[in-house]
Amino acid sequence: MTRAAVEPIELPIGPITRARSKRFKEAISGLVDRIWGEAIAGLVYQSWTSSSCVPCSLLQAEP
């Protein structure tokens, strides 16, 4: 994990420099990635462990 994904996220105090905005953006991106990954992992786990298997079809439409 990156440093930004481990540290608590706090809104920077004082002037927003490029470096501060980059660190804040990385922290937010890391948080969103982690939450998204956990949600997807939970859905995959749920689909594998579910006793009620519902078949589905994947369709692709061309414009």
pLDDT at site 51: 65
pTM above 0.75, yes or no: no
Return the C-alpha torsion angle 33, 38, 41, 46, nearest 10: -150
pLDDT at site 55: 63
What φ, ψ does residue 40 adopt, rounded to 5°?
-65, -45
Per residue in 1-55, pLDDT tens?
Answer: 555 446 677 777 888 889 988 988 898 898 899 898 888 888 888 777 766 656 6
Between 36 and 59, where is the model more confident? 36
